[in-house]
Structure 1
Amino acid sequence: MTDLVRVERALLSVSDKTGLIELAKALVAAGVEILSTGGSAKAIRDAGLPVKEVADHTGFPEMMDGRVKTLHPMIHGGLLALRDNATHKAAMDEHGIGAIDLVAINLYPFEATVAKGGSYEDCVENIDIGGPAMVRSAAKNHGFVTILTDPADYTEVIEALKAEGGTRLDARKRFAAKAYSRTAAYDSAISRWFAGELGNAYPDRLTLAGEKVQDCRYGENPHQSAAFYRTNEQRPGIATAKQLQGKELSYNNLNDTDAAFELVSEFDPKVPTVAIIKHANPCGVATGTSLKAAYEKALKCDPVSAFGGIVALNGTLDAETAEEVVKVFTEVIIAPAVTDEAAAIVAAKKNLRLLVTGGLANPEQGAQMVKSVAGGFLVQNRDTGRVTVDDLKVVTARKPSEQELKDMLFAFQVAKHVKSNAIVYVRDGMTVGIGAGQMNRRDSSRIAAIRAGEAAELAGEAASLAKGSVVASDAFFPFADGLLAAAEAGATAIIQPGGSIRDDDVIKAANEAGLAMVFTGMRHFRH
C-alpha cells in the first residue's frame, strides 16, 4: 500500500447533495476528472463545473429505470485494481480501464422511505444496489482508493487535496471502516424491514445497527467506557430529543432520562403528569390539575430521593412549573415542549439539562428491547400491556370504590416502570410510597410503607401518606405477608395480577383485613 495517493479521477454519485458542489470544485481545482450520474451530474453541471456521465465513461447506456448504470467492469475494475500489481495493470491496459481514485457515494434513502410510511413497492425501489457495490469495492481497495460515504468527511479531503493533491493511508483506512459500517447498517435496515413485512419479529439472523450520537465520558462507573447510539426507530424520546442547555448527558443520565420519559408517556397528555426518577426507578409520580400541581405532589412522595433526580413531564413545561422544579437540585428535565419563559428560568441553572422531544413516546408501539448476556443478547418487545377497568376481576367481598379503582389503575401503570419486585402505594393520583428491586415482595411492601411514613413526617403530617391508599404489585403475591404489610401501613385496596397457587390464602387474608382486591391477569416484571 502507498501512503499518499494522488487523485486523478473521481466518481460522485450521491442522493444527499450536501457539500457536493464544494467537493466538486476542490476536485476540479486539483485537476481531477469527475465522473457522475443522474441528479449528481446535473447538479455539478449546473454549477458550471466539468463532469462526465458514467454512461459515456463505460460506453454502456443507463437502463432499466436506472437499476443498471454503474455495475460495469469499467467502474469496478477502476475501483478494485491494485495499482502495484502487474497482472492487474496489464488487465487495465488491455481493456482500457482507467483507475478511479476517489468515490463519494451516499445511498438511496431506504431508511427515510420506510420512516415516512412508503409503500412496499417504493421501499423496494429505494434499495440501492450499485451504490453499496461501489462502496464495498472502493473500501476494499482503500490502499489506493478514497471512499466517502459521509458529507461530514468532505472538508478533510478538500483540505488534503489543496495541500497534497491526494489522501494519506490512515485517512483512507478510517473512511473505509466508516463505509463498511454504513453498508452494514443499510443492509440491517433492509433485513429488519423485510422481517417486519413478513411478520417475523425474531428472524434466524437478527441484525442491529445504530448511529453514534456521542461518546460518553464513562459508563455506569468511571472505569467503564460507553457511547450512545441512535437507531431508526421513529419514536419521540431520549434519542430524538433536542438538548436546549446544560452540560453533556452522561451514560446514567441517558438511562434514567429514558426511564422517566417512558413512564410519563404512559399517561394521557390531557391529564398533567410528572415523574421524578432516580437510578431508573420512580421516586415520585403524580397527576394534577396542572403540571405544577402534579410536580408538587410527585415531589411530596419522596423529596429526599428527588435530590439530583430526573424530572419528566407529559406536557409543555411552563414558567410556573419550571420555577418549582429549579428549587430542587435536578440533573435533567425532559418534556415534549417548553415555553420561552420556562426555558429562560431553567437557563439560570447552567448545568441543568433541558431536553425537548417534540412529542410523547407511543406506549403502544412495541419496538424491541435488547439486553446483552455472555456470548449473545436477549431480545423482547417493549412491554405495551395495559389494563382498563373492564379487565379487572374483583376477588374480595368488598368491592373497590370509584376513587380506589382510579388510583389502582394509576398505581398499576406506575408499577410497570418500577424494578421488580415492585410495590407502589397511591392515594388521590399520587404515589405515596414505592418499593423497588427487592428480592421478596414483602420487603418491597415494607420499604414502600417506610417511605410513606417518612414523607408524611417531612410534610408535617401526623399520619402516614399510605393511610387510605391503594397498593399495586407488579406480580402476584406468593404469600399474604406482603399484602398484610400494606394493610398495616393503612392501605385499603390492592391491585395485582393474581395467579399464585396460594391465591385463595391471599384473598382470605384480604377479606379478613377488610381490603378490596382486584386481579388484572397481567404482570409487569421489569428486570
Structure 2
Amino acid sequence: MKKALVSVYNKNEKLLEFVSFLIEKKYKIISTNGTYQYLLKNGLHTIEISSITSFPDILDGRIKTIHPYIYGGILVNRSNKKQIKSIKNYNIDLIDIVLTDFYPFIEKIKNKSIDIKSMIEFIDIGGPSLLRSAAKNFLYVTPIIDINDFKLIKNEIEENKSISIKIRKKLAGKAFNFTSNYDAVISNYLLKEEKFPTYINFSYKKKMNLIYGENPHQKAAFYINNIQKGAMCNINQLHGNPISFNNIKDMDIAWKIISQFSPNIPTCCTVKHSTPCGVANGKDIIEAFQKTYYADPISSFGGVIAFNTKVTEKLAKEINRIFLEVVIASDYDKKAINILKMKKSLRTIIINNSISDITECVQVDGGFLMQETDYSLNKKEEDSYKIVTEKKFSDQEIKSLFFAQKVVKYVKSNAIVIAKGTQTLGISGGQTNRIWAARQAINRALKKNKKGLVLVSDAFFPFRDVVDEAAQSKCICAILQPGGSIRDEESIKACNSYGIAMAFTGKRYFKH
C-alpha cells in the first residue's frame, strides 16, 4: 500500500478534502502530531509519526520528522537493489507522497513588532528538509508544497492510478523554487543591514501574467517583492484592458514623480515610454491636470497619467476628453469610476502604497547592476545649493528650480527640464550630448511661454554652450546644475555676462 506523509502548518478544508481523497485511493497517511490531531478531530484516521519513529516531538517541536525511518523511506533510490535491501533490513517503509508547508516566516516578517528571537522560531527546518528530500527523489516520490496542485494530482491518480514522472518533475521544480525563495527571505532578514551582500537572493512572487512584453510578440509577467511593500506591489485594477509590460514601467515612473509631492500640493504627471511628458502642481487637481496636459498634449496621447489626490467626478470628465492608456490615483469618487468606465479600454488603477525601494537593479547580459535608489529629495538637499553667479535667485525661481529637479531625476540622461513656476514646459533627455537636449527642451518651452523660465540639468555642463543656448532664447532667467566640470568657470562667466542666475548642487542625477 502506498504511503503519504502529511505535515502542515496551515490546516483547512482543502487539506481535509485532499487527505480524504488519498485515503479513498488506499493511501496510508502518516502525519505529525498537530496535523494528526486536526485530521482525527475531523474524522480522518492516520498514523502518527511518533509510532513509526518510536520517538516523540522534542525541543518544543523543533524536531518532529528528522529520523532515518522517515528520510530513508523518502530518499531511497528504488532502482538500486542495495538501497532497497538496506531499508528492508531496517524495516523502513517507502513514502510515495510528501505534503508539507512551512512555518510562516514570510508572513510574520511583515509584522515589524515581532523581535528577532520570536522570528527565529518561525524559521522552518523540518518542512524544507522533507520537501527537498522528496524533490530530490522525484523519480519515485511526489513533493507537494502548493495546495493549488491538489486538483492536478487528483486528476493524475483518477485517470492513471499514479502520478506521472512529468508531473513529479514539475512539482520538484516548484518545491525547490519555493525553498530557495523561503531561504532568500530569511537571508535578507538576517542581512538587512548589508546593502550589497556577497550573494543576492531575491524574493518575488508572480502577481499576474501581462498582456505582452515591450512588444506584442514578447511574453511577460509581473512579479512583486515578497517582503517590501513597494508602490507597485499594491496595484488594483478597477477597469480596462489587461496591463502590459510598458504600462507598468510607465506607471512606476509616474507614481514616483507625484509621490515626491505632499497630497496638499495637488500634482499631476503624464508619462510616455518611461519619460515624463508633463508635470505640474495646481491650486486644485483640475488646475494641475490642465497645466500638465498643456505642457505637452501631443506626447501625452496614449500615455499614463497619475494624480496624488482623489479623482473627482469633474476630473474624470476632463480625463475622458483625451486618449490615455492608464489612469492612476490612490482613490476615486464612485461617479468618477463610472465616468472613466465609459472608455472601455482605459486602465483605471488604484495604488495605495508609498514608494519604498531602497535599492534598484538593472539586468545586463550575464548579470545585473545594483545600486541605491535616487528617490528621496529632502529639504536639506534643497538648501544645499550654492549660488555661483553675481545674480541671485528669487524666491519664485528657487521654488520652480527645485520643482523641476524632482522631475529631472526621472528623465533619461542627458536630461534638461524647463519650467515656469510649478509646471514643466519643456522636457528632453536620452540624447547623446547635452546641447541637443537643451535645444529640444528650450524649443518646446518657447512654444508655450516666452519669459521667466528656469532650466535644470541632471549633470554638469561640459562646455558653456548650454548657457549660450539658454541666453539666446531670451527666456531663461535661472539655471540649476550639479557643477563639477573642468570648464565650470566658463559657464559661470557666460551666465554673468547674460545676467542669468546659476547655482551648483554638487549632486548629479543621471538616469541611464
Indicate the TM-score class for this superposition, using the shorter chain for normalisation: over 0.9
Say whether 1:59 aligns with 2:54.
yes
Say whether 1:378 aligns with 2:369.
yes
- Measured against aligned partners, the alpha-carbon deviations of 1:311-370 in whole angstroms (never above 9, x if no partner) come to 1122222222222122211111122222322221221112111221223324xx52x211
- Measured against aligned partners, the alpha-carbon deviations of 1:71-113 in whole angstroms (never above 9, x if no partner) come to 1112111111233332222222221211211122222222222
CA contact (8 A) 2:256 2:375 kept: no
For residue 476 of structure 2, give the secondary structure of its aligned residue in structure 1: coil
Paired residues in the alignment total 507
1:53 offset after TM fit, Å? 2.4
Structure 2 residue runs without a partner (length 5+)? none
For residue 115 of structure 1, give the secondary structure of its aligned residue in structure 2: coil
The percentage of aligned residue pairs carrying the same residue is: 39
CA contact (8 A) 1:27 1:161 kept: no
For residue 40 of structure 1, give the secondary structure of its aligned residue in structure 2: helix
Structure 1 residue runs without a partner (length 5+)? 1-6, 457-464
1:16 offset after TM fit, Å? 3.3
1:511 alignment partner, one of 484, 489, 496: 496
For residue 108 of structure 1, give the secondary structure of its aligned residue in structure 2: coil
Counterpart AA for 1:508: K
- Distance (Å, rounded) in 2 between the aligned partners of 1:440 and 1:526: 14
2:289 alignment partner, one of 280, 286, 295: 295
CA contact (8 A) 1:425 1:469 kept: yes
- Distance (Å, rounded) in 1 between the aligned partners of 2:148 and 2:336: 34
- Counterpart of 1:462 in structure 2 is none
- Counterpart of 2:398 in structure 1 is 405
- Distance (Å, rounded) in 2 between the aligned partners of 1:57 and 1:126: 26
- Counterpart of 2:466 in structure 1 is 482
2:189 alignment partner, one of 188, 193, 208: 193
CA contact (8 A) 1:423 1:448 kept: yes
- Distance (Å, rounded) in 1 between the aligned partners of 2:328 and 2:8: 36
- Distance (Å, rounded) in 2 between the aligned partners of 1:240 and 1:385: 20
TM-score computed with the length of structure 2 as normaliser: 0.94
For residue 383 of structure 2, give the secondary structure of its aligned residue in structure 1: helix
- Distance (Å, rounded) in 2 between the aligned partners of 1:219 and 1:251: 5
Structure 1 residues 443 and 111: CA distance shift in structure 2, 3 A = same
TM-score computed with the length of structure 1 as normaliser: 0.91
For residue 492 of structure 1, give the secondary structure of its aligned residue in structure 2: strand
CA contact (8 A) 1:498 1:519 kept: yes
- Measured against aligned partners, the alpha-carbon deviations of 1:489-526 in whole angstroms (never above 9, x if no partner) come to 31211111112222222112112222222221211110
Question: Superposed, which structure 2 residues align to 1:7-406 within 5 Å?
Answer: 8-17=2-11, 19-117=14-112, 118-196=114-192, 199-362=193-356, 365-366=357-358, 368-388=359-379, 389-406=382-399
- Distance (Å, rounded) in 1 between the aligned partners of 2:360 and 2:4: 42
Say whether 1:498 aligns with 2:483.
yes
1:55 offset after TM fit, Å? 2.0
Structure 1 residues 400 and 180: CA distance shift in structure 2, 3 A = same
Structure 1 residues 335 and 95: CA distance shift in structure 2, 3 A = same
- Distance (Å, rounded) in 2 between the aligned partners of 1:509 and 1:141: 74
Supply the RMSD in Å over aligned alpha carbons: 1.9
Runs of 4+ residues deviating >6 angstroms: none
- Distance (Å, rounded) in 2 between the aligned partners of 1:382 and 1:15: 37
1:466 offset after TM fit, Å? 5.4
For residue 234 of structure 2, give the secondary structure of its aligned residue in structure 1: coil
Say whether 1:439 aligns with 2:432.
yes
- Counterpart of 1:521 in structure 2 is 506
1:42 offset after TM fit, Å? 3.4
- Between 171-180 and 119-128, report the one with greater CA deviation: 119-128
- Distance (Å, rounded) in 2 between the aligned partners of 1:180 and 1:121: 27
- Measured against aligned partners, the alpha-carbon deviations of 1:14-70 in whole angstroms (never above 9, x if no partner) come to 233352222122222223222222443333233222233222232111111211111
1:434 offset after TM fit, Å? 0.4
1:131 offset after TM fit, Å? 1.0
Counterpart AA for 2:284: S
- Distance (Å, rounded) in 1 between the aligned partners of 2:350 and 2:35: 36
CA contact (8 A) 2:239 2:347 kept: yes
- Distance (Å, rounded) in 2 between the aligned partners of 1:337 and 1:512: 50
